[in-house]
Amino acid sequence: MKLITVIGARPQFIKSAPFSDVFRKEHNEIIIHTGQHYDKNMSDIFFKELSIPEPDYHLGVGSGNHGFQTGRMLEKIEDIILKEKPDGVLVYGDTNSTLAGALAASKLHIPVFHVEAGLRSYHKGMPEEQNRVLTDHISDLLLCPTKTAVENLKKEGITEGVILTGDIMYDTVNRFITISNSLYSKDAWLESLETENEVIPSHLQENEYYLATIHRAENTDDFQKLQIIFSAFEKLDKPVLIPLHPRTRKLIDKLNIKFKNVTIINPVGYLLMLYLTANAYMIVTDSGGLQKEAYFLKTPCTTLRDQTEWIETLENGWNMLSRIEVQTITKTVTRKLDCLKYSQPPLFGDGKAAEYICQAILKREN
């Protein structure tokens, strides 16, 4: 079988690693990297660390408004599909790359296989929600990570081609956490941070810091929200470590914002981020993927949003949502961690999602 895989953002690089491993044993995979994430630490390093095959096509689209970015991707992906004539196109998640890949294939009557189908936050103002809903409704195989995702699709009348596979990101975490620990334990993580960044505070200790990521447009494009978030971080009882997206860092540098209790660093590779996540006291994020990684690694999480597409992580308080208000953020982050008393049910599968996805695609083609 000949398959085109479209990726373009950090979470998609991570998810593609276990699938490529399984699929390429007997079949032909062509990888298109749209260039949606183009910073070295948000793109190239992931291919190297996770041994992901080098992309066959690098579109170099870069940043831009949604219409401009998606349109350029759509045009270029269509040209490649016409040239390569694949048996199907695989897309991951909910980015502009996802939608562009799915649209290009669907218009050319090429089957679309959507990994992470069925997720819903029910916040239609989110670009990610728009992308995932539209992609689901033009996909031929809807590869769902959880039972909730299957039920979400059923509510929308989508029942054909829906398959519960488990979460492929769980595969990746299980696969790489041992390597991460071997590389960064015994203060090697601090040395790595200092190599790539400005001076790192010496008081940072394992399990005694908050690891935060802020990247969603609803937070980063609203300066007032950004100020509220960082003001809340100042009031927390432990230091806050933030690998910050280049775009957001430029905004903060431009405005000359300085905050106490906060250490901003450049984006880090997946293996180091995995270690930082596993050894943080808590994750504070607006990211979807990091909510799950925190859950897999049994690190409590606070999500700076009013809703989440990963509602399973809310069970027993492993993850809690927070409005963007200083008092609400500080209260939620410093809550008593009763979740640590509870074991976690296997809500995200058995760590073999890549195999099940591969089987589903091949079964459909046969």
Q: What is the mean pLDDT of each run of 10 residues along the chain (366 residues)?
A: 94 92 97 78 71 90 85 97 98 96 98 98 92 98 98 98 98 95 93 77 88 89 88 95 83 75 89 96 95 96 95 95 97 97 91 98 87
Task: Kindly state the helix (H) or strand (E) to which residue 173 belongs, with its residue range.
Answer: helix 168-184
Rounded Cα gap, residues 112 and 238, in angstroms: 46
Rounded Cα gap, residues 362 and 42, in angstroms: 31
Q: Does CATH number 3.90.1640.10 belong to domain 171-341?
A: no
Catalytic residue among 33, 123, 215, 245: 215
> Exposure of 336 by Cβ count < 10 A (0-12 exposed, 13-18 middle, 19+ buried)?
exposed
Helix 188-196 / helix 270-278 crossing angle, nearest 10 deg: 130
Strands (E), the chain: 2-7, 28-33, 57-58, 88-92, 112-115, 141-144, 162-164, 210-213, 240-243, 262-265, 282-285, 301-303, 319-321
Q: What is the model's pLDDT at position 216?
A: 84
Estimate to the nearest angstrom the gap between the alpha carbon of 262 and the chain centroid: 23
Using an 8 Å Cβ cutoff, are 303 and 322 in contact? yes
Domain pair 2-167+349-365 / 171-341, same fold: yes
Tell me phi and psi for residue 145, to 5 degrees. -80, -25
CB 307: neighbour CB atoms within 10 A? 13
Rounded Cα gap, residues 366 and 360, in angstroms: 10
Q: Determine whether 27 is an active site residue.
A: no
Question: How many H-runs (helices) and E-runs (strands) does the chain carry?
Answer: 15, 13
Q: Name beta bridge partners: 321.
A: 303
Using an 8 Å Cβ cutoff, are 49 and 272 in contact? no
Q: What is the model's pLDDT at position 198?
A: 64
Rounded Cα gap, residues 76 and 188, in angstroms: 42
Using an 8 Å Cβ cutoff, are 66 and 127 in contact? yes
Q: What is the model's pLDDT at position 36?
A: 77
Comparing C-alpha atoms, which of 291, 215, 267 is closest to residue 46?
267
Q: What is the model's pLDDT at position 341?
A: 93
In sequence order, the 6+-apart residues with CB closer than 8 A to the CB of 67 are none
Eight-class DSSP state of 152: H
Count how many residues are written for the chain: 366
Q: Give CA angle at 258 (256, 264), nearest 5°.
A: 100
Q: What is the model's pLDDT at position 43?
A: 58
Only one residue has tokens 């399990």, namely: 207
Indicate the domain borders of the chain. Answer: 2-167+349-365, 171-341
Q: What is the model's pLDDT at position 333?
A: 98
Q: What is the model's pLDDT at position 286?
A: 94
Only one residue has tokens 């509602």, namely: 311
Q: What is the model's pLDDT at position 37?
A: 65
Q: Does CATH number 3.40.630.30 belong to domain 2-167+349-365?
A: no
In sequence order, the 6+-apart residues with CB closer than 8 A to the CB of 258 are none
For residue 156, the SS3 value is coil
